A and B are shown apart, each in its own frame.
Chain A
Amino acid sequence: MHRERSLKEWFASGMRSRSEKFWALKDVSFTVDSGVTVGLIGRNGSGKSTLLKVIGGILQPTKGHVEVSGRMAALLELGAGFNPDMTGRENIFLNSAIMGISKQRTRNLFEEIVDFSGIREFIDTPVKFYSSGMYMRLGFSIAIHTDPELLLIDEVLAVGDEEFAAKCLRKIRQFQSEGRTIILVTHDMDTVLEFCQQAVLLRHGELVGVGDPREVITTYRSTVEEREIPLRAPSTGPARVAHVSWLSGREGNWVNALDPVGLEIKLEGSNVAAGVVVRLEVWSDDGLLLFETDTHMHGLKLPTFDHELKVRFDLAALHLGAGSYHLSVEVAPDPDAIPWDRIENAYTFIMTGTDKGKGKVGIRANAAIA
C-alpha cells in the first residue's frame, strides 16, 4: 500500500521513492463452495475488508488471484454512489447502472426495490434530504435486488429500524435457501455461528484458520485472549484471587448450554479473617451482567485462612444462547464492601447453544405430535 504524497513531499524527499510498504494480505488461499455462507473474522486491521475488496475486484492483488463464477454484488457501503442532488428514483437507476444492471431490468425491478425499501412516499425526493436510515434502506434494497449469485457484505447485514433489520435478515435467509453464496465480514460471532457454514480467520493479513465456524471462532478467541489479559489492579486487602479453574462442563473454550459447570476459585492471603465473600459473575459479550452469585448468598461463611483457600461454585446448566461470554471473580471483606481484588475477564468462553434451538438463551426443547 502506498501512502498518499504531494509533489512537495516528493521534492522534499529528494525525489526518492519513499512509500512505505507492507503486505495487507499474504498467502491467503481458500475455496468457497457455491451456496455456502462464509464469515470473515479477525481483529481490526487484520485484512478482512481488504480481502473482501480484493474478492470484489475493487483492489487488485499485487500477487495471486481470485476466481469467481457468477454475478457478484458487493455491499461494502450502502448507498455508495448515490448522487445527493438526485431523487431516490433517479438514484435507483444510477446505482443499478453502477452495478451493471441494464435500464430495462431496473425498470422491471423498480417496484420491488421501492416496496422493499419502504420509502415509497419519498421516492421523488432528492436523497440529500433522506435520513441516514432511509439512505441505507434504499441502498440495501437496490443491492439485494440485483440478483447476485455471490454477495459480499461488510458489516451491513441488518440496517435501519428493527422492522427493516428483520426484513434484511429474512432476505439473507432467502438468499441462503436459494443456494446463493455469501461472504460477510463481521465482528459479531453470534452472526457467524447463526449464519455461516464456514469461517475464515485472518491475523495481520495472514490466514490463520478456515473451516468449521466453531473451531475457527475458538482459534480466534484464543488469540483474542492473548491480548485480553485479565484486567486487575493489585489487591487492596489481605486476600487476593489467585486462580480460577474449570472443574467441569468445558471442552476447550466451549461450554454446552445444558451441561452443569463446576468452577474452583483459589484465594491467597495471609491471616485472612473469617467471613470474606467470594463473588462470581457471568457477563455477556456486550457488557451485560447476566448472573452473579456469591458465597454470602449461599450462607457460606468462609473460615479464617493463611496462604490459600479454595471455593467451589457449582452451576446447573447455564442455559445461555450461542455466543461468547466471560467470567469475572472478586473477593471482598463483606457482602457490601468494595472488593479487595477483582479479576475482570477471568475467563472467556463460548456457549454452543442448543442444537435444536437458537436465540439468547439455550433451553432444552422437545417437539412431538400432541
Chain B
Amino acid sequence: MSETRRVNTPTSFWSTGFNDWYMVWKWRELLWSMVIANIKSKYKGSALGITWALLRPLATLLVYTLAVGYFLGASRQIPEFGLFLFAGLIAYNFFSDAIVAGTQAITSNSNLVKKIWFPREILPLATMGVAIVNTLFQFAVLCLAYLVLSDAPDAGALPYLIPGFLILLLLGLAASLVLSVVNVRYRDTQFIIEIVLQIGFWLTPIIYSWRYAVDFFNQTWNAQWLSDFYVYNPLTQAIIAFQQALWPPMTTAAGIDFKLFDSWLSASLWISVAISVILLWAAQRFFATRQGALAAQL
C-alpha cells in the first residue's frame, strides 16, 4: 500500500505557499486547457471570431485619439498622442481585464468548485491567462499602428516592458486571488471593483502625462507626499514603464518631459516588482486559508 496523504487540510497563513504553487505547476495542463477553452468559447459562433479581439482596442484607439487627442487638444502637448495613449491603455486594459474576470473566476465556475477537486488557484490564473492572450492581440494592433504611422519605438527601450509587465501580472494575480474569494461571499465585490477600475483609469497617467498630476499636487496642493505616492505606486510605475517602452517619441528630445526612469533597471521599478511579489504571496496565503470553505459557500 502506498503512502497515505492528508486531504485538503486547513493551512496557516504564515507559510511560503510553495506547496500550493507546486500543485498549480502539476496541474498546468488544466491551466492551458482552461485558457484555450475560455477563448474558444468566447468567440465561437461569431462570424468575425477572434478578429473582435483586435477590433475593440482599435476602436478605442481611434475614438480616444479623435476625442481626447484632437477635440480636447491633448495632441498639442503630447506628440504621437494616439501611440502614447495606446501604450498606457494596453497596460491598464490588461490589468483591469485580468481583475474583472479574476473577481468572477470562482463564482462563474461554481459547478466545478462544488463537484471536483483541483488546485483552486487555477481559476484566477486561467482568467489571467486569458487577459494575457487578449493583451497580445492589442500588441498586434499597436504594431499595425506603428506600420501605418511609420514610426516605431527604439528597440533599446523595449526591456522596460519586463518590469512593467511583471508588476501588472503579479498585482493583477494578487488582486484576482483575493477578490475571487471575497466575491463568493459578497457578490457586490464584482460591481464595486468595476467602479474602482474606472476611477483608476483616470487616476493613472494614461490619457495625460504623469508630470501634469505631479505638478498639480506639488504646486496647487503643495503636497509632495501625494505626488510621491502618485508616481511611486506600482500601477503608475508599470504604466510609465509601458510608455517608455512603446511610445516612439520617448527616446527623442520631445519625450524628455515624459521620462521617469533612466533605465529599465531603475530601482523604483524593481522595488515595485518586489512589492508586487510580496502582495502576491500574501494574496495567495489569504486564498489558501479560505479556499477550503468555498464549496460550502457557493
Name the one of A10, A53, A94 contacting B295, with C-beta atoms under 8 angstroms.
A53
Chain A residues with Cβ under 8 A from B26's Cβ? 100
Contact A57 B117 (CB under 8 A): yes
Residue of A nearest to B45 (CB): A85
Contact A57 B1 (CB under 8 A): no
The 0/1 profile, CB within 8 Å of B marked 1, for residues 51-68 of chain A is 001111111111001111
Contact A67 B114 (CB under 8 A): no
Contact B6 A97 (CB under 8 A): no
Residue of A nearest to B44 (CB): A85
Contact A81 B185 (CB under 8 A): no
A67 to B6, CA, bound (A): 4
Q: Does A307 contact B (CB under 8 A)?
A: no
Known A-B contacts A10-B186, A81-B116, A93-B33; the reply to A65 vs B296 at CB < 8 A is no
Known A-B contacts A57-B117, A60-B292, A100-B27; the reply to A94 vs B37 at CB < 8 A is yes
Contact B33 A56 (CB under 8 A): no
Q: Does B188 contact A (CB under 8 A)?
A: yes
Contact B41 A74 (CB under 8 A): no
A44 to B40, CA, bound (A): 40
A54 to B293, CA, bound (A): 11
Contact A67 B5 (CB under 8 A): yes
Contact A5 B10 (CB under 8 A): no
Name the one of A66, A70, A90, A99 contacting B37, with C-beta atoms under 8 angstroms.
A90
Contact A98 B4 (CB under 8 A): no
Contact A97 B8 (CB under 8 A): no
Residue of B nearest to A90 (CB): B37
Q: Tell me, rounded to whole Å, the shortest Cβ–Cβ distance linking A102 to chain B.
A: 6
A53 to B5, CA, bound (A): 16
Contact B185 A4 (CB under 8 A): yes
Q: Tell me, rounded to whole Å, the shortest Cβ–Cβ distance linking B85 to chain A.
A: 35
The 0/1 profile, CB within 8 Å of B marked 1, for residues 97-132 of chain A is 111101100000000000000000000000000000
A-B pairs, top 10 by smallest CB distance, nearest first, are: A60-B292, A80-B115, A57-B8, A85-B41, A97-B30, A57-B117, A7-B188, A66-B7, A57-B7, A69-B4
Q: List 27 A-B contacts (CB under 8 A).
A: A5-B186, A57-B7, A58-B113, A58-B116, A59-B295, A60-B291, A66-B7, A67-B4, A68-B7, A69-B3, A69-B4, A74-B115, A74-B116, A76-B114, A77-B111, A77-B115, A83-B37, A83-B41, A86-B41, A90-B37, A94-B34, A94-B37, A97-B29, A97-B30, A97-B33, A100-B27, A100-B30
